[in-house]
Amino acid sequence: MTVGEWLLIETLGRPDTWSVLTVGTAPRQWKSLARTVPARLQSVVTAAVEGRAPVDRELPRSRHTWSQQRARALPLLGPGGTVHGVLFRVGDTRAAPPPVAPFLMDARTRRTEVLWQGLGPAFDRGRSVWVGAESFEHMERFDGALDLVATVSRAEPGARWLGTCTVRTPAGLRTLLIATRNGDDPQCWRGLLADVTDSVPAQGKSFEAATVDTLVSTNPGLHLAVVDTARIRVIRWISAPLPGLRWTGATDERTLPHPADRPRILAARTAILAGTQFHTIPALRLASTTGDWLTIDVEISPLPYGPPDNTPPQFALVRITLPAPLTPTP
């Protein structure tokens, strides 16, 4: 048992699946709770979960390093009041706990609610709910983004995901540990965000991402997005979102194309799923914020993801070119 460090214990699933995610700010890979916290001390954690309130106890005399030490367990209540985790410390319990925030994702609606306050004021965006591609708005680097999206979309019962990302804040770049797991409802994903920057330095954009940024910045009419091939939804904007497009994260992308252009989009999807490596949709009309239509040229390519087998691609890269000058189509 580590004395003098805060442990972040996730309680996202059944009690027999609970695990340790961090020791201090050092990440752990779903480390066994039974191997980290002695059975005699786990009752403090359980009491915090069941009571949904902090628990402070003096531990009994023993031969262990935690003999007669103070123990403190702080439950982390997520949206709806469910306990997503516990911050647990043995030793000087007056020490400030590390920054952690619970969140809840709905795989059906792609709605994510984050109780950001536990991460501190640098993470205050003036909102707590993001939908779809909005969730990536402040991320500087997230190499595991497609893997997380694919895991959540598959929604296999008892699934879980763990990884890190780098986010932009007014105080600079920060590294967040993301841990999420589904439960009785495989479409409902509870999770925790932990600031682990002190142990995992924040990373800037990869060379590939920086190259894309240069490409976009030198081509003002160019916009890039990742879409899923199952439902043709925007997963993430690689560039800034298309200006003038009637889009938010909550937008049903099926409502954006001109009705006469929808068959061309479905034909492009069919071609990509069949193995086509490049497909174009010229003069595609999308709904604009002014109530008329934006005319754009679109190029679509499958994105490599997953094992190199013959399964249809799950994601595609969409390259959008705006004519210059931009003129709405009646």
**One-letter amino acid for residue 168 of the chain:** R
Q: Sorting pLDDT into bands at 50, 70 and 90, what band is 317?
A: very high
| Residue 226 banded pLDDT, cuts 50, 70, 90 | very high
Instruction: Decide if 162 contacts 149 (C-beta within 8 A).
Output: no
CATH superfamily entry for domain 207-321: PAS domain (3.30.450.20)
Calpha distance 193→274 (Å, rounded):
38
The alpha carbons of the chain give a radius of gyration, in whole angstroms, of 23
Model pLDDT for residues 42-55, shown as the tens digit of each residue: 999 999 999 999 99
Where residue 329 falls among pLDDT bands split at 50, 70, 90?
A: low
**162/311: higher pLDDT:** 162
Provide the pLDDT for residue 63.
84
Kindly tell me the sign of the dihedral angle through the C-alpha atoms of 227, 232, 234, 235. Answer: negative
Give the confidence band of 77 by pLDDT, cuts at 50, 70, 90.
Answer: very high
Report the distance separating Cα 65 and Cα 73, nearest Å. 18
Average pLDDT over residues 54-80: 91
What is the CATH T-level fold of the domain 6-90, as seen in this structure?
Beta-Lactamase (3.30.450)
- DSSP secondary structure string, 165-230? EEEEETTEEEEEEEEEEE-SSTTEEEEEEEE-TTTS------HHHHHHHHHHHT-TTEEEEEEETT
Tell me the range of 3-7, 172-176, 285-289 where mean pLDDT is highest. 172-176
Query: What integer pLDDT is reported at residue 326 of this predicted model?
Result: 45
CB contact burial 51-89 (16+ within 10 A = b; e otherwise): eeeebebebeeeebebeebebbbbbbbbbeebbbbbbbb
pLDDT at 278 over 90: yes
Is 122 a residue whose pLDDT tops 60? Answer: yes
Strand partners, 57: 71
Query: Fold for domain 100-195?
Result: Beta-Lactamase (3.30.450)
Residue 18 has pLDDT above 70, yes or no: yes
Q: Do domains 100-195 and 207-321 have the same CATH topology?
A: yes
Distance CA 15, CA 62 (A): 26
pLDDT digits (tens, 9 = 90+) for 230-249: 888 999 999 888 888 888 76
Q: How confident is the model at residue 330 (pLDDT cuts 50, 70, 90)?
A: low
Position 283, amino acid: A
**Dihedral sign for Cα atoms in the order 300, 270, 135, 15:** negative
Average confidence (pLDDT) over 14-37: 95
Tell the residue number behind the tokens 């920054």, with chain if given.
99
Q: How confident is the model at residue 24 (pLDDT cuts 50, 70, 90)?
A: very high
Percent of the chain scoring above 90 in pLDDT? 72
Query: What's the rounded mean pLDDT across residues 212-231?
Result: 89
The mean predicted confidence, pLDDT, of the chain is 91
| Residue 77 and residue 87 in contact, taking contact as beta carbons nearer than 8 Å | no
Residues 263 and 272 sit within 8 Å (Cβ to Cβ): no
**pLDDT computed for residue 307 by the predictor:** 64
At residue 62, does pLDDT exceed 90? no
Q: Domain residues of the chain, as ranges?
A: 6-90, 100-195, 207-321
Query: CA 94 to CA 76: how far, in whole Å?
Result: 18
pLDDT of residue 217: 84
Residue 56 pLDDT exceeds 60:
yes
Per-residue pLDDT, averaged over 151-174, amounts to 95
